[in-house]
Structure 1
């Protein structure tokens, strides 16, 4: 029996798996016909059955009783991995939760291959956690343990931007000096690399990789920035209360704007505190909306409205965020300029990381011949504009934004295991 290998792109927002079977690299359909799946999981309340991806999101948005989670990758390397979380009233650790998500990806790949796959190259960001090498190493060790738990015996890792480069390399003619910008939901990673279709089968590519940099900023941070700038003020964010005109606590709003923290807000203690503040609020209409979101546990729906606005503003100058689940007929008009301003500092940090990569490679921006954009966050208008500004003379490659990392990891698995 032929030894097969695969590559898994476990993303903050979306995931994929690709296999190397009989010399052919291909993505595996992981949710119906789709080769990508949102990194989301929903545990039904009635039987604790886990459902994944678009189905999980649909059940949650339709108010099916249960526990919904997204952005699981951001938990790796943090204290939350050990703390775990409540799932339908019972404690569950994140190793179990992430294992459940990755196990169903492996099952799809095993089924497509017609045999069990034992070897995998897992994608990883340049930094799971910024400026914390111990947490970064811990995150990779946790992901290794999870890969073993779901049944892989041989496990290697590759930086996600390098994997994206491998996927594009197969289509090249001639040699190119490229920078890969991989902007996902949780991180933005960059690699300067020499590419050629003649290099594809080289087992060691270290001499072709000139530099890697990364920063823990991605599409989820854009959602948060947009939410805090345009949506949360309509829920009383930065309003005041009491005789002294104190500002209301900001943390509930900040946590409601972050996918990985929303579920921790629905506590009797916090709701009681917000009720007490409502009594003293100077803007009861707006602040009462915050209390309603907490009581109805619609934080993910609120954040989904921010994400939907971000996506809509890719092609439109204006979008109305529908918040009628809070108040009937409640819509907030949001313009692209407002969004661009909300994420301006994040885009500047992303740009600085890309420029640092160029500097560490010892080249100039003019030397870059190809810019490979991958990851859903590269769709954002101001992000695209920034990379065109940084590299005005380079060709832009942005096809297969959501699947190129998975493909590239499978190409790398061929070189590592076969």
Structure 2
């Protein structure tokens, strides 16, 4: 028996779903004409109705009342999955929240297919959680349970960089030894793989895959480093208070710089503590900005400004980041050199993971013929420069940065669950 199948790329920043339509693998429009959707939800305060993607983002930044969430993928495998969170005063676990988002995507694909899709290959990073095998296994088990909950009967997993390789393989001439760099919002993952058009229909690719590595560093970490370096000092970060010249607490600034932690800051206890520090602050003007962000719950707006600055500085020498939501006419001029300096350490972690992949594959960097760059973080100029420096003789393929993983997962699902496959069982990573 065979069944209609799909591939789902549940990303930290963006998600997609692709299916096989009459022998043609294609992405499904998941938000109007868009084939990718921001991994974001907004729960309306009046009735807890959920909105998704760009609509969720727009509702929140238009100052509608409710609870906004992003970067939910980073919660998988952590204690927050059991802890849950308050959504407009109601306790809600993250299984329910993530399932709501993925069901929304699945419904779009079911409508295009004209029937319920029962089989899926879910993308996953090489490591959900660094250096913690138990948490990593727990994260995949949680994602499998969510896939079952939203109606999938047959579920498999594939590493995201391998899926990206499958998407590019259809255009490969001859055989190529490639390294795939999938740099998303939450993780950076690498695969060294032999690609050829003839291998594209093979169900078992284990002999072609030479190594996989990954590190829990991505575009969200770039946002955080930029924010902590260039923005948070203008909100009183590293200032002092009181007669003993104490440093102001660091944790509120760190949490304000992470999408997955912002919502946990708006507590009466923390706001009261920050107000007390404000009275003793040696930099009241700047520290008042932090208090205002907490009181008005504009942490997501602050993060959005950091993200917009990162994107702008990928092509501009300088950017005037505006923060009118904190105080009138408040802006910060940020130079690209400062941004690039702030992320040097994160880029080194990414490149070390790439070098580790080469070592585990047992090959020299000169043997790589093709570098496949996918994921929005590869748009950053210094990231591109780092890969061109590491692989000066290789061809660079960087088309379909936001959609190649979803497409590749659909190719994998066709091979595993399609007409020529005998597999229709629940399983783990291929």
Decide whether the 8 Å contact of 1:4 with 1:21 is kept in 2.
no
Matched, 1:362 2:362: yes
- What value does the CA root-mean-square deviation take over the aligned residues? 0.8
Write the distance in 2 (CA, Å) between the matches of 1:100 and 1:317: 40
Deviations 1:314-361 (A, max 9, x none): 110100111011111111011110000000000000000000001111
Aligned residue for 1:103, secondary structure, equals helix
Decide whether the 8 Å contact of 1:181 with 1:190 is kept in 2.
yes
Alpha-carbon distance, 1:23 to partner: 1.9
Question: What is the TM-score with the length of structure 2 in the denominator?
Answer: 0.97
Matched, 1:53 2:53: yes
Alpha-carbon distance, 1:2 to partner: 7.2
Decide whether the 8 Å contact of 1:5 with 1:21 is kept in 2.
no
Alpha-carbon distance, 1:97 to partner: 0.1
Corresponding position of 2:259: 259
Instruction: Provide structure 2 residue ranges, at least 5 long, that are not aligned to the other structure.
Output: 419-430
Corresponding position of 1:150: 150
Alpha-carbon distance, 1:3 to partner: 2.5
Decide whether the 8 Å contact of 1:324 with 1:330 is kept in 2.
yes
Decide whether the 8 Å contact of 2:2 with 2:417 is kept in 1.
no
Write the distance in 2 (CA, Å) between the matches of 1:80 and 1:107: 27
Corresponding position of 2:193: 193
Write the distance in 1 (CA, Å) between the matches of 2:2 and 2:95: 31
Write the distance in 1 (CA, Å) between the matches of 2:73 and 2:275: 33
Write the distance in 2 (CA, Å) between the matches of 1:374 and 1:80: 29
Write the distance in 1 (CA, Å) between the matches of 2:251 and 2:131: 24
Where does structure 1 differ by over 6 angstroms across 4 or more consecutive aligned residues?
none
Corresponding position of 2:316: 316
Matched, 1:37 2:37: yes
Decide whether the 8 Å contact of 1:7 with 1:407 is kept in 2.
yes
Write the distance in 1 (CA, Å) between the matches of 2:122 and 2:217: 20
Alpha-carbon distance, 1:21 to partner: 2.8
Deviations 1:185-225 (A, max 9, x none): 00000000000111000111000000000000000000000
Deviations 1:245-298 (A, max 9, x none): 110000000000000000000000000000000000000000000000000000
Matched, 1:21 2:21: yes
Alpha-carbon distance, 1:24 to partner: 1.6
Write the distance in 1 (CA, Å) between the matches of 2:235 and 2:26: 46
Decide whether the 8 Å contact of 1:128 with 1:136 is kept in 2.
yes
Write the distance in 2 (CA, Å) between the matches of 1:338 and 1:252: 23
Matched, 1:161 2:161: yes
Decide whether the 8 Å contact of 2:13 with 2:39 is kept in 1.
yes
Pairing of 1:105-254 with structure 2 (within 5 A): 105-254=105-254
Corresponding position of 1:277: 277
Aligned residue for 2:127, secondary structure, equals coil
Alpha-carbon distance, 1:20 to partner: 1.6
Write the distance in 2 (CA, Å) between the matches of 1:122 and 1:54: 22
